[in-house]
């Protein structure tokens, strides 16, 4: 090999190295742009302005189009609280979904139906908690109280749907614990 070949080979290796580094930087920039766009979209759809909460929702891979479904997580979590969903609970959840304005041909209805067949990831409850915290930052104490009461009321309907034994103990201990956890999500953090 002559000196020019060595220089050419060295230059090719350097060019290849920097090309790969440039591609990594470009990919990082794309990821950062996607993150920013996701946060902006989530903010638009939800009304949440808190950067920390928006970052957490993005980290949990919550897309703007799933926010409507996310609002139904409490009903799903209460239904699954005792480890299984019976027919009456399933019917009660689907009835509540329809009452909220989500029709059977809506993709959110399909998502909820799947959650009733297979328990969703615990990350969704965590995402819902962050969503509620961000939402509550934009509400008055009275509005927060009204939202909590409405949600807990709907969740209790689901919890009592299966009826207990001879109408006694309609809401199980595990369902009561989940109702308490849902209620606590509305309390101010930090």
pTM (two decimals): 0.67
Give the tens place of pLDDT for each residue, 106-119: 888 888 899 999 99
Q: Is 78 left (phi over 0), alpha (psi -120 to 50) or beta?
A: alpha
Give the span between the Cα atoms of 135 and 76, in whole angstroms.
Answer: 20
Position 189 scores a pLDDT of 55
DSSP assigned state of 119: P
What is residue 165's three-state secondary structure?
strand
Q: Is 164 left (phi over 0), alpha (psi -120 to 50) or beta?
A: left
Q: What are phi and psi of 41, to 5 degrees?
A: -65, -45
């Amino acid at each position: 090999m002559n000196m020019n070949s060595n220089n050419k080979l060295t230059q090719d290796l350097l060019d290849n190295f920097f090309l790969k580094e440039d591609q990594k930087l470009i990919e990082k920039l794309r990821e950062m742009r996607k993150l920013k766009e996701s946060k902006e979209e989530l903010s638009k759809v939800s009304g949440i302005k808190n950067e920390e909460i928006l970052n957490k929702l993005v980290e949990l891979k919550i897309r703007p189009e799933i926010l409507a479904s996310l609002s139904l997580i409490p009903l799903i979590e209460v239904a699954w609280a005792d480890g299984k969903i019976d027919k009456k609970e399933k019917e009660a959840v689907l009835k509540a979904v329809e009452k909220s304005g989500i029709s059977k041909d809506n993709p959110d209805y399909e998502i909820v139906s799947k959650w009733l067949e297979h328990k969703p990831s615990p990350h969704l409850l965590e995402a819902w908690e962050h969503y509620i915290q961000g939402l509550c930052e934009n509400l008055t104490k009275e509005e927060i109280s009204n939202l909590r009461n409405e949600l807990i009321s709907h969740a209790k309907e689901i919890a009592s749907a299966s009826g207990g034994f001879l109408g006694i103990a309609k809401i199980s201990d595990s369902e009561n614990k989940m109702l308490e956890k849902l209620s606590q999500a509305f309390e101010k953090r930090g």
